[in-house]
């Protein structure tokens, strides 16, 4: 984690906590924290999102609140800075949960969300060329996410990503899939995931962690058990933000590092890249 990334996480945590302290909902706090990270260009989301093999940025995001189990998501959206806000608009302005592709982009533009410049690399390549380029992928990945608990006892979770580096056009990871990349339920807790999405999808990690919370497991125990299953069953890699309705939380990962942090309003925010 670089110094600018650490400073950005610090600022995002302060913004999120102050919103909650002023009575904002967990949903609003979660969205605003993620917007800071998308805007920064320092992470694989929003302005900093990876490009797919044809040179185009296609981004995914989702958000969920735990009182009524409302959720919204976008997949393969292009040309906007804040996919997390597009996801929230899907939740609040439609009867749907997930919009994908060009129509997700059109939806975001209808609501006049801030756009990104497409850049010279936004060119369409032949599929043969794309498949040849696939051999040089660097396996860089990452997702920004947040979980929050508000004064009413409602939890929320959200995530936003540019996916894995050098991925096939049209690839969708775990982030926009409710129960995989995110889940929030006031009866169990909130989870936001990062890592290689294919494995997270196959284990439905976020929902499985919440299921264990509902059975009385602590956030640490629930996260460790499911991440161990991800490793042993399919050799997957991931990190998790886990928050219980009583405020207990865990940050756990089965990767060498995971840039993350937390704050309860006391002292200064805790930010680091190893939480084992």
Angle, CA 83 vertex, CA 77 and CA 25 arms, to 5°: 150
Residue 32's Cα: distance from chain center in Å?
Answer: 13
Q: What are phi and psi of 137, to 5 degrees?
A: -60, 150
Contact 42, 5 (CB under 8 A): yes
* pLDDT single digits (tens) 94-119: 999 999 999 999 999 999 898 887 65
DSSP assignment letter at 169: T
Binned at pLDDT 50, 70 and 90, residue 120 comes out as very low
Contact 223, 250 (CB under 8 A): yes
Residue of higher predicted confidence among 119 and 206: 206
For residue 134, being part of any structural domain is answered with yes
Structure tokens at 49: 């999102």
Structure tokens at 272: 């680091």
* pLDDT single digits (tens) 51-72: 888 888 999 999 999 999 999 9
For residue 248, being part of any structural domain is answered with yes
Rounded-to-integer distance, Cα 118 and Cα 175, Å: 22
- For residue 246, the model assigns a pLDDT of 96
Binned at pLDDT 50, 70 and 90, residue 214 comes out as very high
Q: Show the domain range for 7.
A: 3-117+127-254
- Give which of 114, 136, 146 is closest to 30, Cα–Cα: 146
Q: What is the pLDDT of the chain when averaged over all its residues? A: 91
Q: Considering all CA atoms of the chain, what is the largest pairwise distance in Å, rounded to the nearest integer?
A: 55
CATH code, 197: 3.60.20.30
Q: What are phi and psi of 76, to 5 degrees?
A: 55, 40
**What are the C-alpha distances in Å from 175 to residues 18, 23, 86, 130, 272?**
26, 28, 14, 23, 22
Contact 255, 240 (CB under 8 A): no
Rounded-to-integer distance, Cα 62 and Cα 31, Å: 10
Query: Number of C-alpha atoms within 13 angstroms, CB side, residue 66?
Result: 31
For residue 263, being part of any structural domain is answered with no
Query: Cβ neighbours of residue 153 under 8 Å, at least 6 residues apart?
Result: 186, 245
Residue of higher predicted confidence among 51 and 133: 51
Rounded-to-integer distance, Cα 157 and Cα 175, Å: 11
Contact 160, 37 (CB under 8 A): yes
DSSP assignment letter at 126: P
Positions marked active-site:
143
Total count of domains within the chain: 1
Residue carrying structure tokens 């995110």: 182
Contact 38, 83 (CB under 8 A): yes
Rounded-to-integer distance, Cα 184 and Cα 225, Å: 19
Report the predicted TM-score, pTM, of the whole model to 2 decimal places.
Answer: 0.91
For residue 35, being part of any structural domain is answered with yes
pLDDT for residue 136 is more than 50: no
Residue of higher predicted confidence among 51 and 149: 149
For residue 276, being part of any structural domain is answered with no
For residue 184, being part of any structural domain is answered with yes
Rounded-to-integer distance, Cα 125 and Cα 132, Å: 11
The Cβ of residue 188 has, within 10 Å, a number of other Cβ atoms equal to 22
């Amino acid at each position: 984690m670089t110094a600018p990334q650490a400073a950005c996480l610090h600022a995002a945590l302060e913004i999120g906590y102050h919103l909650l302290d002023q009575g904002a909902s967990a949903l609003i706090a979660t969205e605003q924290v993620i917007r800071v990270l998308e805007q920064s260009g320092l992470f694989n989301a929003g302005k900093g999102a990876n490009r797919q093999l044809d040179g185009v940025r296609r981004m995914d995001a989702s958000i969920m609140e735990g009182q009524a189990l409302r959720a919204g998501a976008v997949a393969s959206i292009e040309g906007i800075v804040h996919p997390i806000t597009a996801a929230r608009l899907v939740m609040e302005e439609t009867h749907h949960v997930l919009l994908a592709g060009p129509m997700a982009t059109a939806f975001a533009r209808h609501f006049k969300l801030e756009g990104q410049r497409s850049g010279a690399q936004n060119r369409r390549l032949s599929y043969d060329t794309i498949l040849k380029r696939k051999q040089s992928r660097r396996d860089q990945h990452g997702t920004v996410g947040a979980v929050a608990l508000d004064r009413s006892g409602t939890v929320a979770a959200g995530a936003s990503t540019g996916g894995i580096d050098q991925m096939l056009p049209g690839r969708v990871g775990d982030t926009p899939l409710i129960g995989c990349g995110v889940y929030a339920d006031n009866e169990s807790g909130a989870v936001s995931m990062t890592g290689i999405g294919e494995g997270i999808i196959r284990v439905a990690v976020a929902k499985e962690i919440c299921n264990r919370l509902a059975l009385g497991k602590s956030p640490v125990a629930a996260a460790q058990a499911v991440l161990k299953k991800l490793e042993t069953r399919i050799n997957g890699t991931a990190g998790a933000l886990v928050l219980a309705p009583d405020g207990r939380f865990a940050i756990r990962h089965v990767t060498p590092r995971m840039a993350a942090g937390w704050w309860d309003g006391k002292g200064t925010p805790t930010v680091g890249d190893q939480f084992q």
